Structure 1
Amino acid sequence: MHSALFEFLTQSPTPFHATQSLASTLTTAGFTELNEREPWQLEPAGQYFVRRNDSSIIALRLGQRPLTEQGLRVIGAHTDSPCLKVKPQPEINSQGYWQLGVEVYGGVLLLPWFDRDLSLAGRVTFIQDGQLQSRLIDFKTPIAVIPSLAIHLNREANKGWEVNAQKELPPVLTQLSGQEEKDFRALLAVQLHHEHGLQNIQVLDYELSFYDTQAPAHIGLQQDFIASARLDNLLSCFVGLDALLSADGQQASVLVCTDHEEIGSSSACGADGPFLKQVLRRILPNEEDFNRCIQRSLLVSADNAHGIHPNYADKHDSNHGPLLNQGPVIKVNSNQRYATNSETAAFFRHLCQQHNVPVQSFVTRSDMGCGSTIGPITASKLGINTIDIGAATFAMHSIRELAGTQDVVHLTKVMTAFYNSVELLS
C-alpha cells in the first residue's frame, strides 16, 4: 500500500497530475469517463468518472439499489496543496542569474522552501496549426533553488524573520552569459517537445508550480512515519480511491477530489462551485428524487488533521491532541469550520469500533482560530449530512509533511467499510 501511495505522490506534483493519475487508475479499473459537454447514457450499477479543468475529478459507482432508497456514500478530498506558482511574465535577470517571479498559492509555510531541490510542473496552453491545445509537463529533475542568505549577512536569522514573498522567493534557475536574455515560454516549448514531441508551437499561457523533488520516504527507527510533499491532501485522495476500488460495489458511492481548497474553493471546479451538484443532478434530474437521495446520504470530508507536536504541545487543547498512528481524527468546531455534528460523529465512531480501527477527536484551542475544509462548503451546497475527519499530520503546509505509517492502513480500512455500509443515518 505504501509503495502505491509513494508512487501516486511522486506522479502528482500538481492538481493536474493528481487528477490525471486518479483518472488513469479508474480507467484501468473499468470506470468509463463521461464528457460534460455530451449526453450521458448511464447504466444501472455503472461505474463512471468525470473531470473538470483537468484538476478536479468525481468518480461514481451507482450501486445495486435505487438511489432514493440507498442514498450516496460520498468521500470528499482536495487535489491542491500550498505552493509557489510562476507569474505570467516571470523573467528576472539579476546579478547575472536568471530567476522566475512566483506567486504564493495558499497558506504556505515559507521557510522550508529555502535550499530545496526544486522542479517545475503543471499545464501549458499553446497554439499549433491554428488549434488551441493544452498539455501537462513535468521537468522532474531539479532545475531551481531558493538559496538562503548566509547567517553572516543576517545575524538575526535564527530569531525569526518575515519572508518577503516578492523579494526573497524568486528561484534561481541558471547563470547568464554576458547580455544573454532568457525566454521562459521558449523554455516551455522545448519541454513540450521533449515530453510530447510537439513542434512549431506558440506557448500562450500556463499554470505551473514549483515542487520539491525529494522522494517520499519512511522515517523513524521503526519506519513510524511517512515524509512527503503534498500529504495534505493527496493522502486522502489516494485513500479515497483505494477504498472505492476495494469496496464491494453494492452501495452507491462517490469520490470527489476538487481543486482550490487551499484558497477557499470558490471556482468552477472547486467545492464552493457547482461541479458536484451538477454531476449529481444529471444522475437524478428529478428534483424530488434528488432531494430524497441527498437526505439519505452522508459525506465524509477527508482532510489532514493537526497532530499534537511534542515540541509545541501547548498549541493544542490538552484533551484533544491527536497522535500519529492512532487512527482517524474526528474534527469538531461549534462555529461550523468543520461540518461534524453529533450524529455524523457517532456514525463514524461506531463504524471505527465495528472494524477495530482506533479513532480520535480534535477541537482547536478556544483562544485560537480554526482552519476549515470542503466539508462545511459541500454541506451547505447540497444539504448533505457531513463529518470532517483526517489523518493526524505534522508540519501541515510545509514543503515536506509528516504522517503516521499506520494511519494510512487505519483510514483505508474504515473508508472501505464506509463505502460498504448498508445503512447510513436513520
Structure 2
Amino acid sequence: MLGMNSSTVVVLPVVALPIQDGASSPKKNKILSRLISSLLHCLTEMKGIHKHRNLIHSIKVGLALVLVSLLYLLDPLFEEVGDNAMWAIMTVVVVFEFYAGATLGKGLNRGIGTIVGGSLGCSAAILAQSLSQIGKASAIGTSVFVFGAAATYTRLIPRIKKRYDYGVMIFILTFNLVIVSGVRADKVIELARDRLSTIGMGFAVCVSTSLLIFPVWASDELHSSTASKFNKLASSIEGCLEEYFKGIEEKKDNQSETSFNACKSVLHSKSTDESLANFARWEPWHGKFGFSHPWHKYLQIGDSLSELAASILSLKGCLQSHQQPTPVLMRQHSIKKPCEAVASQLVYTLRELGDSIINMKRFSPAVLIVAKLQLSRIELSEAVLPCMLRTLPDDDGFAMAGFVFLLMEMVDMVEKLAKEVEELADYAGFPQQLKYPDLW
C-alpha cells in the first residue's frame, strides 16, 4: 500500500445485508413504547413538583430579572424608558413572592399605592407651584404632614394592616417622592408617568412569571394542610389511648412514648394559616377554588383544631403522672372498653371530616355524627359513676376521672368541628357523596 500511486483506486467489495422488516418493527415498537412510558413517567412526576418548589421559585425569579433587565440591555427599550428602568427591576425584587397569591396581592398593593400616591403628589405639587417660595414650602410641608400622618394611622388599623399594609406604605413613599421632587423638577407629570409605567412593566413580568410557570397556590397549601391536621390529631388520640392502657411491664420493656409533635405543629400553625388565607383571597379562579371561596371558615376550623390539639397535649400529663391507678387490671376492667369506644369514634369522625375537606365532598351529615358522639359519651359517663369511683382510692379515682373528663371534652370539640365542616360545605357548595354510615 505504501508503494501504490496516488492514482490507484482500490475497490472494496460491498456486501448487501438483507433487511428484515419483521425484525425491525418489534424494535421500533419497543422504542416507541419506551418513549411513551418515559413521557407518562414525566407527567406523573409533575404531580410531585412541590418537592422542588424552592428550586423552581429561584429559577422563576431569575427569569423575571432577566426579562426586566432587557429594558436596560436593549437600546430601543432603553431609549423609551431611560433610567426609570430601575423602578421595574426594584418592582421585581420587592414584589415577587413564593406564592402566586402573595405576588398578585403585593403587586396590586404596590400599583394602587403608586397610582393614588402619585396622583395626589402631582396635584399637590402643581398647586404649590402657583404660590410664592414661602407659600410653596408651607403647602408642601403641610401636605406631607397631613397625608403621612393619616396614612400611618390608617396603616395601624388591624383589618387594613392585614391586607393593605404594603399598599399604604407605598402610598406614603410615592406621595413624598413625587411632591418633594416636584419642587425642583419642571415636568412632574411626565416623571410620575414614566415611573408608573416602569413599575407596571415590572408588575406584569412578575405576575406572568408567577401565574404561568408552575404556580404555587396558597389556597392549595391551606386546603391540604387543614385536611391533614384531622389525620394528625386522630393518630395522636390513638397513640394516647394505646399508651394509657398499656401494661406496666410493657412500658418498662419498650419504653415507648406517644409523639406529640403533630399536636404541637397544629398549635403553632395559626400564623401560617392566616398568611395563607390572606394570600388565597388574592388568587384568581383556579382548579376547585373560586373567587368567593370561604377561606375564613378554614381559619375557624383551624382554631377549633388548635383547641383539640391542646386537649390532646394535656393527656400527656395523664400519661406521665405517677398518680395514675397502679393496678393495671383495675384500670382495664373499669374504663378501658368505654374509653376505647369513645376514642375509636373520635378517630373515625376526625378522619371522615378530613376526607370530606380534602375531597370536597359531603359524607355524613353533622346531625348523625353528633348523635354518634353523644351516644358514646353517655356510655362513657355511665362507666365512671360516682359509686364506682368510691371503690377506688382517692388518688386513683381522681386520676381516672381527670382522664375521662378530657375525653368527654374532646367529644364536645369534635362535635363543634363537625358543625364547622358542614358550614364550610354549605358555603363552598360541596356535593353530596353517597356513603352509607357505619352502624354501631
TM-score range, shorter chain: under 0.3
Higher radius of gyration, 1 or 2: 2
TM-score by length of 2: 0.24
TM-score between the two structures when normalised by the length of structure 1: 0.24
More strand by share: 1
Higher relative contact order (Cα pairs below 8 Å, separated by 6+ residues): 1
Q: As a proportion of its length, which structure holds more helix?
A: 2
